[in-house]
């Protein structure tokens, strides 16, 4: 009887912690969206100055898909500094910083300025 109560309490704590992580961490929400959806990338966070998107890693395919999508939207790559890319579109500039979040996902933060 004590084991059952202990097990059920532990299970309840795990469910609550999992729900809190899913609600509070935008990267975890993005990873879940990518696993469920068929989209090549999903938006995980947006503010007035920047936007973060997440893609599957797939040996770098996710990064290439994201960069190609930006070029299809009219942005032209001007420069590349390690994991940062600079794009221009007429008189606007977009800086994209990309980093690997886990072995399976990459996050790109896009700041226009």
With a CB cutoff of 8 Å and minimum separation 6, the contacts of 9 are none
- Which DSSP letter does residue 59 get? G
Query: What pLDDT is attached to residue 20?
Result: 65
Q: How far is CA 20 from CA 13, 15, 23, 95, 107, in A?
A: 11, 9, 5, 32, 21
Task: Please report the pLDDT score of residue 56 as a whole number.
Answer: 83
The total number of residues shown for the chain amounts to 113
CA 85 to chain centre: 16
* pLDDT of the chain, 113 residues: tens digit per residue: 777 887 777 777 787 777 666 566 677 777 777 778 878 888 887 888 899 999 988 887 888 888 999 999 999 999 999 999 999 999 999 999 999 988 888 999 999 87
User: Where are the chain's structural domains?
Assistant: 2-112
| CATH class entry, domain 2-112 | alpha beta
The pLDDT assigned to 96 comes to 95
Q: Give me the helix-helix angle, 2-24 and 26-36, nearest 10°.
A: 90
What is the Rg, in whole angstroms, of the alpha carbon atoms belonging to the chain?
19
pLDDT at residue 23, as a whole number: 64
């Amino acid at each position: 009887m004590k084991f059952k109560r202990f097990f059920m309490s532990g299970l309840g704590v795990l469910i609550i912690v999992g729900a809190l992580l899913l609600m509070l961490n935008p990267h975890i929400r993005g990873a879940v969206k990518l696993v469920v959806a068929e989209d090549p990338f999903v938006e995980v966070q947006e503010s007035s100055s920047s936007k973060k998107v997440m893609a599957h890693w797939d040996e770098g395919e996710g990064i290439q898909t994201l960069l190609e999508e930006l070029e299809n939207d009219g942005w032209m790559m001007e420069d590349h500094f390690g994991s940062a890319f600079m794009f221009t579109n007429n008189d606007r500039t977009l800086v994209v910083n990309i980093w690997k979040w886990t072995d399976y996902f990459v996050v790109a933060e896009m700041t226009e300025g």
